[in-house]
Each structure stands twice: as structure tokens, then as C-alpha cells.
Amino acid sequence: MNEEDRKKPEGSGLSRRDFMKIGGMTLAVPMVASPKVLRVGGEDVEVYGPEKTMVTLNVNGKLMRAELEPRVTLLDALRESFDLTGSKRVCDRATCGACTVWLDEKPVYACGMLAIDAQGHKITTIEGISTPENMDAVQKAFWENDAQQCGFCTPGFVMATKAFVEKNPHATLEDARKGLSGNLCRCGTYVGIHSALRQLTGMKEA
Amino acid sequence: MADYKWPDQQHRSYLGKKIDRLDGPVKLTGRAKYTYDYNPKGLLYGALVTCPYARAKVLSVDTSAAEKMPGVKALKVVKTPGTETHWAGDEIVALAAVDERIAEDAARAVVVKYEVLPHFVQDEIEPPKDIPLASGPLSQEDLEDMFSNQVPEGKIADAIKTRGINWKPDEGFFKDLKGYGVDQVVIDALRGAQVKPGTAGPKSPYKRTAVQTEGDPDKAFAEAAYVVEGVYGMPVITHCCLETHGLVAEWPDQKSMNVHVSTQNVSGMAAQMAPMLNLSASDIHVEQQNIGGGFGSKFGPDSWGMHAAELSKMAGGAPVKMMLDRKVEQEMAGARPSAYGRVKVGADKDGNLIAWESNSWGTGGVTGGGSPPLPYLFRIPNQKKQHTAVSCNIGSARAWRAPNHPQASLLTECALDDLAAKMGMDPMDFFLKNIEMTGPRAKTYAEEFKIAAEMIGWKEKWHPRGDKTPGPLKRGLGLGLHTWGGRGHESHCDLTVHPDGGVEVRIGSQDLGTGTRTVIAIVIADAMGIPIEHVKVFLGDNKYPMSGASGGSTTSGGVSSSTHRAAVDARDALLAKVASSLKAQPEELEVVKGTVRVKSDHSRAMTWKQACAKVGPVGITVRGNNPDRTKPPDLTNSGIGGVQMAEVSVDIETGVVRVEKLMAVQDAGLIVSKKTCETQMLGGMIMAVSYSLYEEKVMDPTTGRMLNPNIEFYRLAGLPDIKDLRIHLHNTQEQENRGVIGIAEGAVTAPGTAISNAIANAIGVRVPFMPFTPGRVLAALEEHGQNAMAGGAM
Ligand code: FES
Ligand code: FES
């Protein structure tokens, strides 16, 4: 591999963030800075960046603004610009679920989405669910069943589990196993998570 | 003199009970701050330029474009031209910039030219028979390698004496060794060693040690009624901590530094960083409240942490955050050494083990990696063994939960299981028949086997090799056993009883998620007789009294012993102050559930708060220590044994293995915090399911690069993989009398062996190497032909 290729991971000629820059091309972003307008496939497309642009996000019921390059992920914006560090960065490639937040009511991987694309949606992070003094039923079930160790995967698991049990209040354990397979824990707290799920849904084995 | 014994049954409100962990709510609500989350004002983001080649010489480094980029605040060339690199991922340049994107852009703008050198990354191939023995002088790396692989210190000293060393250690080096707790025999051997500089070892990737023999193995094999020979092994795996390695360094002035670091070693960090920065350890403030996993890989600042410290200084003291990205983390922040072995075992006609022979090999990176202790647990009377360390161009080995034990367990107990199969014997009977060879824990193992067998239904479900039921899904049972030390480490703490009744303890320890905070609070509450809510635990700061690194299951024993002694002393000091107001002698008083009272007359009493109000405005502060021979008894102990049994199903058409059940029985001394103890054990078992079925650092022999430096192709077990896992803590009175013993390492050792044996039991053939992927299962079936599926081929 030559030096040029090395600088472009995956040898595609594009870095992942370059790719996301293109992904940031969009037809319907609320106007905050003046985009370039390009004609693509017979349509006018607004293109942001690479310079910073004002991004407004609705996070946990509050409007938050920051000047961000369009290539900044939703996860990095939450963590770096708004100091909402409950969502963790682990794989940074939409595999592990540690960065799970809700976009409107749906759980999504915040590392797999650009901040600029999250505008106009209602974003809920772990900080928006509850406080340590006033935990939600899912969090209490995790606590009572000791479904955590280091806790690094835990906020993501809580966000995914809460969305899952709200949508599937009568799920079987097998359903839940599959439904939550998009979150990973290295410390191995799955047995505690099973117990928490059982407590939450009154589910039976499989 | 005060009685420092652990409280008896009547005085345990929390000890051994299931108490919710103290830090549950902050972690569950995302408020817990980890090193990765530390975002101080003016933070600079670090980035690394890493070497893409497995071995190369740096020819030139051009940083001009990167340095000109706006926002780049500091840059340091780590590997100057002429330097050789030894694995892909090795750092060439470190830099810091105002945001992460700029830092990454700048790293991409650095141009490095390399001369690519030949590499070697294939550790699973059996080394050639005719390698000369390693004889050259030992290097510092060889020594470190032996330490990290827990080679017995007598053996290390012998190697130093016979082979000499290739550098001249100075007094500072000896002092460091002492500081790390290295035995005097090694230090003496080094002092007396012959120094043969410049004669580094041979260029071959193989370093073979001399054959070790006990008894008369050749004769024993000749006389054996049953002999089997097999090859077994497990690859290099990574730690894959969810929080990657790294730290944030900042210099509030030119003479001191603050460090937030993801570490298992808060108290020991400053001393490792100070010399390289021309600071005293007392100038470095180290903090860590939470850590996202370590598993043995986070004891030092690491080279990239040192780069961050220097970059921060270069940037006028601004905080620099250097957390590895996932790719580099997987490439170089820790490899559990692989181990493979050709193993031969023999038994007499009654099933008594009489002979062992092994040729093992494995890698832990460039320096080779140490040898697993073989045969594991069973002191077979006649033995012959030899180990070859394979030097591979991969990131260096680090301790990985129970260093060397899973490897040794697999190589030994799979061979024993194969021997039992050859004899047509139930492996549980065979292991039990030979259990005396395991030494002092033999009786415990025998008890544990019975309990585990009942839990999994061994007697009803076990069948000879090869499930004969129709259909592609085959079921099987397997077992494994393990041991570990777990004695508490050196630990000190300061405990203060405030006049308002609050109790706080300050201790330079860390809670890895193992429940350290909870353990400490439980111990103090029960020693003082107060509600746990009164106890506040402060840890994760090197300005608190030194407490050992959390490795080798040493923390529970250490912190519980030091804090228990402190709590007893503080309670007694309090009772001495209030005795006269209750018209009693201090010895006549007790504290029960927050009430201070006269033992013989409960009407003479006051609340804990009333008592504390009498101690004066500054309260009482005492120091607690472990060990402390002036305050007997010894509160911690060493030596655990555990048995695990697995039930698997294997689809012989697809090769997919599922672990249906995993049952663990574990002796654990006195249990302090039952809930976190069980969680910790289950965590070990789950990690073992993960490494048995999925984990492997896949190296490409052609390019020498790791093919799966991420989490999508470096697979970890997920929720769907974990089915029925149960544990039984074998804490009989006899076990409790031993004091507190750490259990974390044990739990991760036996399950891999049990799973391997269960697969062999299900499909009738041994799948030699982990992870037991569909491809490997199908290959093993194919190799042994269709008959194998009908059972009994081995
Ligand atoms: S960090 Fe987003 S899924 Fe892993
Ligand atoms: S609790 Fe540590 S990764 Fe899940």
C-alpha cells in the first residue's frame, strides 16, 4: 500500500468523514447558514460545508445551537458541544449501541448520523430520561438486578431497553434477546439484563 | 486489644447480603463521568499517526503541512527517521489540535516514508522441530515478558543466572523492581548477572526453552494402558475495553500536572509518569471516578499517554485528551497471548494419570510471550514439557483476566477429557479419580463437582462421545476446573467520623465496575454497626492513601481489610469518648443498627448521631492498613478452586455452536457483597462464552495487519448468545473462615474448557482451536469423516 492510500482509510479514496460529508447533502434542512446550491440529477441540492455552519438541535426539550462542520456526527455534537456525555462513543461505526439516543421516539445510533441531519427532530438522550434521584422503571430494574458493571454500555442499553419494552410490553425473552442484540457489553452483564427484562415485562422463558 | 475479626452472623446487616451497588444511579442515568467524558475548557484533542506496516524502518517524516494547519497546537515526532517499528499501529507522530476533526485532518497530512521490512504474524503454525534452544542473554523485554506472564520468580532467577543479560541495570531499575513487588531472588540474580551487551538473540521468530522433565515420562508412557495425543489452542484476543485507553493531561503551571486517566492503577500512575517528565510523583495529581473496562490492560500511562503529557506542556499547559480510536485500540492496546500445544497424556488401566508430555507454543507479541503453567492443576507424576515463544509483529501482550490460566486449562483439561473418552469413562469420574493430584483444593473440587453435576443434570444427560439422536442438532456436556490466588493487595485508607454522624473514607483505589465502592461501604457499615447510608466512599484519587492496583483479583481482599481495620479503630475511639456519658467502660458498649448502647443494659443507649456529636468539632480520623500484623487476624487469603459445566448444542449442518447452559460452582472465602460478586462471576463466564465462540485477533500473513480492528468483525457475544447461566457460591463455614478472597479471575478460566469439552461430547470429535466458529466445527467434522458424527471416533 502506498502512502497516498494509507491516508485514505479503506482505500476508497474517501475517508469515512468525507463520505459523511456527502451524506450531509440534503433537500430539507432548516435554513441556518447559506448552503451552496448544486444541480444534481436535474434537481437543486443544498450542500453544506466543509466550513462550519450553525446547527440547531432540539435535545431533551431544549433548543441547543452550535457552530459545527457538517461532518460532525450527532454523537460528537452531543458529547463535545453540549457536554451530554451519557451517550458513549465505543465503535463509532454503528455496531455496539453505546451511543443510542432517540430520534423522535425511535432509538438510533448517534454515531451513525450527522448532527446537521438531526435538525428538526426531537432528540432524547439518557440525560433527558431521569435524574439519579428519580430513576425510571427501566433504570430501577437494571439497578435491582445489577445489570451493569463498568457502566460504559449502560446508558445505551437503558435507552434501547426503554424503547423496546414500551413498544413491546408483552415480549418474550427470545424477542427481547433479538430486539436488544444491537447493544454490546464487554463486562458481561447480560444475565442481569435478562433479569431486568423479566421484571419489566413479566415475561416467561422464550 | 480491639478485635479485628470479621463480624459474626448476628452482626452482619450487609456483609454477604445482596446490596444494590452504590454507583448504580449515576451510571444508569448517564451522569457518571469517565475519562473519555472529561471536557475541560480549552480542551485540545490528540491524534496519532500510526505505522501501517507490521515491520518497517522510518525513512522520513514530513510534518510541515500538518503544522501549518490552523488549529494545530502541538506536534511531536515519536519515531524519528532510522527507527524501526514492530507492529502495525505503532505511533510515529502525536499531535494536538483544537478539535477532533482538525486533529484527524492534520494526522492525515503528515507524510511518512518507510522502508518496509519482513514480518511474521503466524503463531498458530506448529514450530519446526529442530529449533536451537534460546541461550542468548535476556533483554529487558524478555524480563518484562516473564513478569507479565507470571513465570515463577525462581525460574526467572535461574534464567538470568544461566543466560546473562544484555544491558546493565542501574540502581533506579532495581528500585523500580522493588516498587513493583518483584522478589529479592530476581533482584539478586540481576545484580550478579553476567552482562553481555549487544548480543541480542537469534533472528528466528522462535525462542525455545529447555525440556523440563519430572519422573520418568518415557517409561510411564511405555507402561500406560491408555494414551492420547492431541493438538489444542486458543488465538490472541484483545481486551476490547469499551472505553478505549487514554488520558487527559494538563499542566496548571510548569511544575505540576493533572491527569484524568482510564486506569486500574490510580495510586501507581504518578510514579510511572514522573521520571520521564522531570517531575516528582508528588507533582502529579491523578483522578478517575469511573473506568469503562480494563481487564488487565490498563496499569500504566502508555506511550500515547506520555505523548499527551508532553503535547500539553508544549501547548502551554492546555488539557490534551488522547483517547485511542477503536482501530488503534484493537491493534495495539493489549493482546492476550495465544497458546497452542501438542499434548500427550497417559493413564494406567485403572484410570490413574501417570504421564504427561507437551510441546506448547504461543505469542504475546514481538517478545514472544511466556508459557502457560502445564499441566494445569494436576501434578501428574511423570512429565516432559517444552515451550516455544513465537515472536510476532503484533501489539504487545498485556495481562488479560487470569493471565495464562484459560490457556493452561484448555491445553490440559481437553487432553484429559480426550483420555477419558478413549477409556470410555465419564470425564467427571475420571477427573474425580485423579483429583488428589490437584493438591490442597482437592476436597473442594470434589464437593463442587457434585453440586455442579446436580445443577446441570449431568447424571441424567451425559452420554458417551457423539450424540446419537437423529437430526442435525447435537447436544453435549463438558466440564472444566480452575484455580487462582486472590489475596488482598497492599491498601491504606483514612476514615473520618464527623460530628454529625457522617462517615467518610478516602482510599486511592478504583472501582472498575466490580463493586469496590459497595464492598467498602458494606465493610464499614457492618464494622461500625451503622446504616450504610451514613458511609461515603471517596476513591479514584492519588492524593488519598495508597491502595494497590486492581489486577489479579486482589482488590476486594485489600480494600476490605484496610477499611475494616480503620472502621473498628474509629468505632472504638468513638466508644472511648462516649463511654462516660453512658456510665460504662468502652468495652461494655456496642453499636447495633445505629444505636450505641451498653451490651448488658440496652436502656442505657444513645443514637449514633448523638454519640458522634460528643467527639468534638473535628471528629475522629484514623488510618487503616492491609496487611497489618499489629492488628490480627489476617483478614484475606489466597487460593480458590472452581468447577464449571457447560451444555452446548451444535448444528452439524451449519457448524453453529450455542452454549445452552453454563453452571459454575465457586469457593470464594467470605463473601462481602453478594450481588456484585455474582455479577462479577457471571461477567467472567460471559466473557468466556465470547472468547470461546467468537473472539480472535485475525492477522493477515501477507500484509501483517489486523483484519478486524473494530467491533463489527471482532465479534463480542451479545444478548442472544447468553442463555441459562447460573452460579453457586460454595461458601461453607469452612470457606468463610478463610477471610476475603478475590474471585474475578477464576470465573473466566474454566468455561472455555468446559465448552470445548461439551462440543467434543456433542459431535464426537475435538475442535482443536478456539474460537469454535462454524468453519472450524465443520472442518473438524470433515477431517474425522462421517463416522465421527455417529460418535466415538476419538
Ligand atoms: S458508538 Fe455508536 S454504535 Fe457504537
Ligand atoms: S458494563 Fe462494562 S461494558 Fe457493559
Work out the minimum CA distance from B780 to partner chain A, whole angstroms: 29
Say if residue B184 is exposed, middle or buried (CB neighbours under 10 Å; 0-12, 13-18, 19+).
Answer: exposed
Which residue's alpha carbon is nearest to atom 3 within ligand 1?
Answer: A94
* B661 DSSP assignment: E
Of A36-40, A113-117, B770-774, the range with the lowest mean pLDDT is: A36-40
Helix (H, G, I), strand (E, B) or coil at B498: coil
pLDDT higher than 80, residue B200? no
pLDDT digits (tens, 9 = 90+) for B216-268: 999 999 999 999 999 999 999 999 999 999 999 999 999 999 999 999 999 99
Query: What does the pLDDT read at residue B663?
Result: 98
Work out the minimum CA distance from B677 to partner chain A, whole angstroms: 10
Please give the average per-residue pLDDT across B321-342, as a whole number: 96
| Contact (Cβ atoms closer than 8 angstroms) between residue B96 and residue B37 | no
Chosen from A186, A195, A198, A200 to mutate, greatest number of chain B CBs within 10 A = A186
Better pLDDT: B161 or B503? B503
Across all residues in chain B, what is the average pLDDT?
Answer: 94
Q: Which three cell numbers stand for residue B277?
A: 517528565
Q: Which residue of B has its CA nearest to A158?
A: B28
% of chain B at pLDDT higher than 70: 97
Q: Residue B613 CB: number of other CB atoms within 10 A?
A: 15
Residues of chain B positioned with their CB less than 8 A from the CB of A75: none
Find the CB nearest B101 among A7, A17, A95: A17
Say if residue B171 is exposed, middle or buried (CB neighbours under 10 Å; 0-12, 13-18, 19+).
Answer: exposed
CATH 3.40.50.2300 fits domain B9-32+488-626: no
Residues of chain B positioned with their CB less than 8 A from the CB of A191: 682, 686, 722, 725
pLDDT higher than 80, residue B788? no
pLDDT digits (tens, 9 = 90+) for B264-301: 999 999 999 999 999 999 999 999 999 999 999 999 99
Q: Predicted confidence band at B1 (pLDDT cuts at 50, 70, 90)? A: low
Please give the average per-residue pLDDT across B618-623, as a whole number: 97
> Distance (Å, rounded) from C-alpha B713 to C-alpha B691?
13
pLDDT higher than 80, residue B704? yes
Closest ligand to residue A112's CA: 1
**How many A×B Cβ pairs under 8 Å?**
187
> Which of 711-730 (B) contact A at CB < 8 A?
711-712, 716-722, 725
What pTM was estimated for this model as a whole?
0.91
| Contact (Cβ atoms closer than 8 angstroms) between residue B190 and residue B175 | no
pLDDT digits (tens, 9 = 90+) for B157-187: 988 998 889 888 888 888 888 877 788 999 9
| Contact (Cβ atoms closer than 8 angstroms) between residue B466 and residue B793 | yes
Of A34-38, B24-28, B161-165, B307-311, the range with the lowest mean pLDDT is: A34-38
Nearest atom within ligand 1 for CA of residue A112:
2
Residues of chain A positioned with their CB less than 8 A from the CB of B115: none
A64 close to ligand 1 (CB < 6 Angstrom): no
Find the CB nearest B242 among A98, A139, A144: A98
pLDDT higher than 90, residue B588? yes
- ipTM beyond cut 0.90: yes
Q: Which residue of A has its CA nearest to B720?
A: A177
Find the CB nearest B719 among A89, A90, A193: A193
Of B23-27, B190-194, B507-511, B673-677, the range with the lowest mean pLDDT is: B190-194
* Residue B705 in contact with partner chain A when CB distance is under 8 A: no
User: Domain limits of chain B?
Assistant: 9-32+488-626, 35-119+245-323, 135-201, 410-485+638-793
Residues of chain A positioned with their CB less than 8 A from the CB of B92: none
pLDDT digits (tens, 9 = 90+) for A13-59: 344 444 444 434 444 444 445 688 888 888 888 888 889 999 999 99
Beta-carbon contacts of residue B90 (< 8 Å; ≥ 6 apart): B50, B51, B79, B332
Of A40-44, B424-428, B536-540, B669-673, the range with the lowest mean pLDDT is: A40-44
Query: What does the pLDDT read at residue B2?
Result: 85
CATH fold, domain A53-128, is Ubiquitin-like (UB roll) (3.10.20)
pLDDT higher than 50, residue B794? no
> From ligand 2's centre to the CA of B513, what distance in Å?
8
Q: Which three cell numbers stand for residue B38?
A: 472529561
Architecture of the domain defined by B35-119+245-323: Alpha-Beta Complex (3.90)
Closest ligand to residue A91's CA: 1
B242 close to ligand 2 (CB < 6 Angstrom): yes
Q: Residue B622 CB: number of other CB atoms within 10 A?
A: 18
| Contact (Cβ atoms closer than 8 angstroms) between residue B119 and residue B55 | yes
Query: What does the pLDDT read at residue B784?
Result: 87
Cis status, amide bond into A155, omega within 30 of 0: no
Query: What does the pLDDT read at residue A201?
Result: 86
pLDDT higher than 60, residue B120? yes
Please give the average per-residue pLDDT across B131-142, as a whole number: 78
B35-119+245-323 with B410-485+638-793: one CATH topology? no
Ramachandran quadrant class, B457 (left: phi over 0; alpha: psi -120 to 50; beta: rest) = left
Across all residues in chain A, what is the average pLDDT?
Answer: 85
What angle is formed at CA B702 by the lines to CA B699 and CA B705, rounded to 5 degrees?
Answer: 40
Residues of chain B positioned with their CB less than 8 A from the CB of A130: 29
pLDDT higher than 90, residue B102? yes
| Contact (Cβ atoms closer than 8 angstroms) between residue B314 and residue B251 | no
* Residue B291 in contact with partner chain A when CB distance is under 8 A: yes
Helix (H, G, I), strand (E, B) or coil at B645: strand
Contact assignment for B25 to A143 by CB distance below 8 Å = yes
User: Domain limits of chain A?
Assistant: 3-46, 53-128, 137-201
Please give the average per-residue pLDDT across B453-479, as a whole number: 97
Query: What does the pLDDT read at residue B786?
Result: 53
pLDDT digits (tens, 9 = 90+) for A122-133: 999 999 999 999
| CATH value of B410-485+638-793 in 3.30.365.10, 2.40.50.140, 3.30.420.40, 3.30.450.20 | 3.30.365.10
Please give the average per-residue pLDDT across B653-673, as a whole number: 97
Q: Which three cell numbers stand for residue B164?
A: 546473562
| CATH value of A137-201 in 3.30.70.260, 1.10.150.120, 3.10.450.50, 1.10.3720.10 | 1.10.150.120
